[in-house]
Structure 1
Amino acid sequence: MTGLHIQLLDGFRLDCEHSPVHVVPGARRLLALLALREGPVPRPVAATLLWPGATERRAAACLRSTLWRLVKPATPLVVATEDALALGREVEVDFRRATAVAEAPGASPEALALFKADLLPGWWQPWVQAEREWWRQARLRALEALSERFRSDGDRHHAHQAALAAVQTDPLRESAHRTLVELHLADGNPAQAVRQYQTYRTQLRAELGMEPSPHIHELVRTLLR
């Protein structure tokens, strides 16, 4: 662990030596933007994204002021050159860690906790919304893969939690509902499997006017009879 940590999942937070640091809104947005980007961000791009309603000159001035007001710990928080800005190399970001974990082959309850979290909830900026939608899709795939890994390892409890988190993220995602139905059947809970299927069917009919696929229906066909 380094001394600086930026949290983007479940809300913004900056920690220095394990203690929270107050960050003014403009600096908060700047740090979040740099934390979401892997490489340096050109100064004009950062200024335009952070102050979209301002003139180019005014946005550049706001950026300079924000950089001046940033907390300045011993470890560089932001590396600023004449042309670009980047997050300091030693700054840890939970979102970057979560994306790396999503691509890892193992399964752990720690990974499950990461994938349950939303990216910067309540932030309306377009550059945040684009990343949030990417994260939503990435975490759905990761949660389903994680559920399958837990199930292969015989850990049906965490397999169920991962599939349930996927359903909560996207209530109309059939593959996640299907996994929950299969897990209930494997646990010897046919009534719960039917309830899960019927919940999904009701939501799908109400929102899209569609029926579940034959694949998930076949799992509970004999129970419905």
Structure 2
Amino acid sequence: MPAERVFAAMNDRPRTTVHLLDGFGLDCDQARVHVVPSARKLVALLALREAPVTRSVAAALLWRETTARRAAACLRSTLWRLSEPGVVSTADDTLFLRPGVEVDFHRARRLVDAATSADRAPEPEAVALLRTDLLPGWDYPWLHEEQDWWREARLRALEALSARFRSSGDRLRAHQAALAAVQTDPLRESAHRTLVELHLAEGNPAQAVRQYTAYRLRLRSELGLEPSPEIHRLVRPLLGGR
């Protein structure tokens, strides 16, 4: 079916959402739809790529350990399983998500861009979305690069959000964003430094020292390293001669 006819035929379809953050899910009109593992991989691949993917590329990526003929057969079977609710569309030799299908990861990427945009106010729910992993537990070569990008991008976004919330006087959300960054990467010094600064700004020197000490012990235990002079300088007046 030509792409124009596919797009025109989708106007009256129910709302469908693909979830990639904190695990895979497919909702149709807010009801969870069961999807077999092979079909989950295809939907996730198309959701991440956004642009149409040829059948041969999809088959080679998803069934890379088998022959091209067998991979093509697996793809046909998977497409049949996805015929209802019809989340995947085809045009010529390409595959793509049905127009109008929402993907939570697309919104999360927009939040990353908005986090550092001075002309856009931070969204209150941004921290909750940015603290989630992309398809945790999935270990596929076609996914690794996207997972690595998302991990670093959301860490930077959380730190940027923390700074923006703090500058606007919202210390609670500033703390939540910095804590989410620390929980995502417990060895990320910039996030620990932000928490130390927030504790000091709130008049909690003991909590600032605890934060610094916990980070220092973990850094020494796991990597045999010491914190940088920058973060040590924040708590040095509180440590006396130690």
TM bucket (normalised to shorter chain) is over 0.9
Partner of 2:3: none
Structure 1 residue runs of 4 or more that deviate by more than 4 Å after TM superposition: none
Structure 1 residues 13-37: Cα deviation after superposition (integer angstroms, max 9, x where no partner): 1011111111111111100110111
Report the Cα distance in structure 1 between the residues aligned to 2:84 and 2:17, rounded to whole angstroms: 14
Q: Map of 1:8-157 to 2, 5 A cutoff?
A: 8-73=20-85, 77-104=87-114, 105=117, 106-157=121-172
Unaligned runs of 5+ in 1: none
Report the Cα distance in structure 2 between the residues aligned to 1:101 and 1:35, rounded to whole angstroms: 17
Partner of 2:8: none
Match of 1:4 among 16, 19, 28: 16
Report the Cα distance in structure 1 between the residues aligned to 2:66 and 2:25, rounded to whole angstroms: 26
Report the Cα distance in structure 2 between the residues aligned to 1:92 and 1:175, rounded to whole angstroms: 33
Report the Cα distance in structure 1 between the residues aligned to 2:221 and 2:57, rounded to whole angstroms: 43
Report the Cα distance in structure 2 between the residues aligned to 1:131 and 1:159, rounded to whole angstroms: 27
Match of 2:223 among 208, 211, 222: 208
Partner of 1:159: 174
Quote how far apart the aligned CAs of 1:71 are.
4.0
Report the Cα distance in structure 2 between the residues aligned to 1:13 and 1:78, rounded to whole angstroms: 15
Report the Cα distance in structure 1 between the residues aligned to 2:206 and 2:83, rounded to whole angstroms: 56
What SS class does the counterpart of residue 85 from structure 1 fall into? strand
Amino acid at match of 2:182: V
Report the Cα distance in structure 1 between the residues aligned to 2:83 and 2:175, rounded to whole angstroms: 43
Quote how far apart the aligned CAs of 1:161 are.
0.7
Q: Give the count of matched residue pairs.
A: 222
2:187 counterpart of 1:172: yes
Amino acid at match of 1:84: T
Report the Cα distance in structure 1 between the residues aligned to 2:28 and 2:106, rounded to whole angstroms: 18
Quote how far apart the aligned CAs of 1:81 are.
2.3
Amino acid at match of 1:101: L
Report the Cα distance in structure 2 between the residues aligned to 1:97 and 1:77, rounded to whole angstroms: 18
Partner of 2:209: 194
Quote how far apart the aligned CAs of 1:122 are.
1.0
Report the Cα distance in structure 2 between the residues aligned to 1:71 and 1:3, rounded to whole angstroms: 16
What SS class does the counterpart of residue 32 from structure 1 fall into? helix
Report the Cα distance in structure 2 between the residues aligned to 1:150 and 1:96, rounded to whole angstroms: 23
Cα 1:71–1:79, aligned 2, differ >3 Å: closer, same or farther? closer
Quote how far apart the aligned CAs of 1:101 are.
1.2
Report the Cα distance in structure 2 between the residues aligned to 1:118 and 1:71, rounded to whole angstroms: 28
Structure 1 residues 164-207: Cα deviation after superposition (integer angstroms, max 9, x where no partner): 11011111111100000000001100000001011111111112
Unaligned runs of 5+ in 2: 1-13
Partner of 1:219: 234
Report the Cα distance in structure 1 between the residues aligned to 2:190 and 2:42, rounded to whole angstroms: 37
